Amino acid sequence: MAIDWQKEVDARKDDILNDLKELLKVRSEREDSKITADAPFGPGPRDGLKQMLSYGQRDGFTTKNVDNYAGHIEFGQGEETLGIFGHMDVVPAGDDWQTDPYDPVIKDGKLIARGSSDDKGPSMAAYYAMKIIKELDLPLSKKVRFVVGSDEESGWGDMDHYFEKETAPDFGFSPDAEFPIINGEKGNVSIQVHIGVSNEGNYTLKKFQGGLRDNMVPTNASAKVTTITAEQADAMTIAFNEYLGINPISGTSVKEDDTTVIFQVAGKGSHGASPQFGHNAATWLAGFLDKYDFAGGAQNFLHVASAYIHEDFYGEKLGVAFEDPKMGKLTMNAGIFDFDEEKEDAFINLNFRYPQGTSSETLQAGIKNAIGRYDVTLVEGGHHMIPHYVPQEDPLVTTLLDVYEEHTGEKGEEQIIGGGTYGRLLERGVAFGAMFPDSVDTMHQADEFMSLDDLYKATAIYADAIYRLAK
């Protein structure tokens, strides 16, 4: 049976867009301060999960909510299950948006909102692909289950809980990356560098903060500094303006009193898997402050950030650089900086995307060797994921590449990325779309968007792919 998948999608464009807009209005950022038994990651992720599941209930699928951690939408019959994995949680919107990040706007064919490309837009495309197959009453020999998560951007606690209660699908994909396919993902581990908060110099670092998540390049950073004399404070503000003028950042300095200055820097955000595409506001600020006479823990904090982390995206200064012929280079993102002289210690959170051939233990040994003399303590945190790879000759990979090639006319090749997707949850799991090779990547950035053309084209590709894998 020849099916015009794009025609089926075109007939449902308005429905796809209306459901997606409704979903994007849910502010599904994780909020630890609002966690309850009913909202394990805060009310936003819970509400996003429930909203997505409500579409499945409305459209006659079998649905299940697993304790507001995750859920699924399912149809079909058979002993095997094809899994599709999406997530409703989003990274914090942050600043510098031209529009309200939770009031979707269409401009120049782009749907602008937090989560539009990561991952509510692609998830809606995959859901409607399932809906088309169901409405056409096409015969299937396998179950198709769309697993909906709510903690992908943080610790993956949603999937830990889900798989305690539910059996894993046999194979599948996540619509949370790019076409033609992602069949390999680097390891992902965060290592916190803890440093003391003592101040012993002529300049005092009261506070230094930057970044929102370990998987985001910090867009903004601020520091509160006190000096001994008003003249020192004035000289710092003049030097800071000169520093801004010759570097790819912007910022402000405000005198709180004669000897206290608050410095703020705005850089450029990027996904933590590709830190080289951003300008880390925190390390640029540390680079300015490091030349002043701080001492003790404050000096250690600033110097480590400036001399060992700033503009080092591959861990070379820390002595942990590594490259694998297939998976490529290790990358490093310094995502969170926190120094407060009233706390017990300060920390810098380093997120590594590492290829096969190295390990968290090797990384920690290298870091300790490079900066151990600055009185640091290392702590592994977050959800550690080891490298993942599905061979390109696997039928899952070959089928998805065939579908991509037929719909686009472009040759499909295997790809390995530093980003972590739910595709790695399954031994035979990959990421498949929804960005195309010519798409603009705005994930984790201000004014995130998904092209409507990409949204509808991806829906057709997903429908064809799901049907071929499950028929």
Convert the pLDDT of each residue in 308-325 to its tens digit.
Answer: 999 999 999 999 999 999
The percentage of residues in the chain with a pLDDT greater than 90, rounded to a whole number, is 95
DSSP β-ladder status, 416-417 and 331-340: unpaired
pLDDT in tens, 324-354: 999 999 999 999 999 999 999 999 999 999 9
Quote the crossing angle between the two packed helices 395-408 and 452-470, to the nearest 10°.
140
In this structure, of 58-62, 92-96, 435-439, 451-455, the range with the lowest mean pLDDT score is 92-96
Show which of 385, 413, 433 is a domain's final residue: 385
- Among candidates 74, 31, 66, which has minimal Cα distance to 50? 66
| CA angle (443 as vertex; 449, 144 as ends), nearest 5 | 85
**Do 264 and 394 share a domain, yes or no?**
no
Tens of pLDDT, residue by residue over 37-55, are 999 999 999 999 999 999 9
For 239-285, the pLDDT digits (tens) are 999 999 999 999 999 999 999 999 999 999 998 989 999 999 999 99
DSSP line for 311-335: T-SSSTTTT---EETTTEE-EEEEE
Same domain flag for 17 and 35: yes
Q: Are residues 207 and 341 in the same domain?
A: yes
Q: Indicate whether 447 pLDDT > 70.
A: yes
Looking at the structure, tell me whether residues 245 and 227 fall in a common domain: yes
Which of 347, 317, 312 is CA-nearest to residue 332? 312
How do 187-195 and 377-385 pair as beta strands? antiparallel
Q: Which helix (H) or strand (E) holds 64?
A: strand 62-66
Distance CA 60, CA 57 (A): 5
Q: Are 181 and 311 in the same domain?
A: no
Mean pLDDT (whole number) for 133-156:
96
User: How far is it, in rounded angstroms, from Cα 207 to Cα 211?
Assistant: 14
Instruction: Spell out a b/e string for 407-429, using b for 16 or more CB atoms within 10 Å of the CB, else e.
Output: beeeebebbbbbbbbbbbbbebb
CA 353 to CA 276: how far, in whole Å? 13
Chosen domain end from 336, 356, 385: 385
Under 8 Å between Cβ of 418 and 323: no
Residues 172 and 62 in one domain: yes
Lowest mean pLDDT among 1-5, 163-167, 178-182, 397-401: 1-5
Same domain, 207 and 346: yes
Across the range 4-13, mean pLDDT stands at 98
User: What average pLDDT does this structure show over 69-78?
Assistant: 97
Would you state the pLDDT for residue 220?
97
Residue type, 13: K
**What are the φ and ψ backbone dihedral angles of 468, each rounded to 5 degrees?**
-65, -35
Q: Does residue 159 share a domain with residue 98?
A: yes
Torsion, CA 58, CA 457, CA 12, CA 51, rounded to 10: 30
pLDDT at 224 over 90: yes
Q: Which residues are catalytic?
A: 89, 152
CATH number of residue 278's parent domain = 3.30.70.360
Q: Which residues contact 29 (CB under 8 A, 6 or more apart)?
A: 42, 44, 45, 89, 90, 91, 92, 93
Please state the pTM of the whole predicted model: 0.81
Boundary-marking domain end, from 385, 407, 424: 385
pLDDT of 383 reads 78
- 279, burial (CB in 10 Å: exposed 0-12, middle 13-18, buried 19+): buried
Query: Rounded distance, CA 367 to CA 316, Å?
Result: 10
Q: What is the mean pLDDT of the chain?
A: 96
pLDDT for 119: 97
CA Rg value for the chain = 24
Share above pLDDT 70 across residues of the chain, in percent, rounded to a whole number: 100
Cis peptide before 434 (omega within 30 of 0): yes
Q: What is the pLDDT of residue 72?
A: 98
What is the pLDDT confidence band of residue 1, given thresholds at 50, 70 and 90? low
Residues 10 and 66 in one domain: yes
Which CATH number fits the domain that encloses residue 149? 3.40.630.10
State the Cα–Cα distance between residues 219 and 144, nearest whole angstrom: 39
Are 115 and 228 found together in one domain?
Answer: no
Is 382's pLDDT higher than 80? no
**Residue 470, Cα to own-chain centre: how many angstroms?**
30
- 304: pLDDT strictly greater than 70: yes
**Looking at residue 418, what is its pLDDT?**
87
Is there a single domain that holds both residue 172 and residue 237?
Answer: no
Residue ranges making up the domain that contains 60: 5-185+387-470
* Listed residue (401, 383, 301) closest to 347, CA to CA: 301
Give the total number of structural domains in the chain. Answer: 2
Are 320 and 222 in the same domain?
A: yes
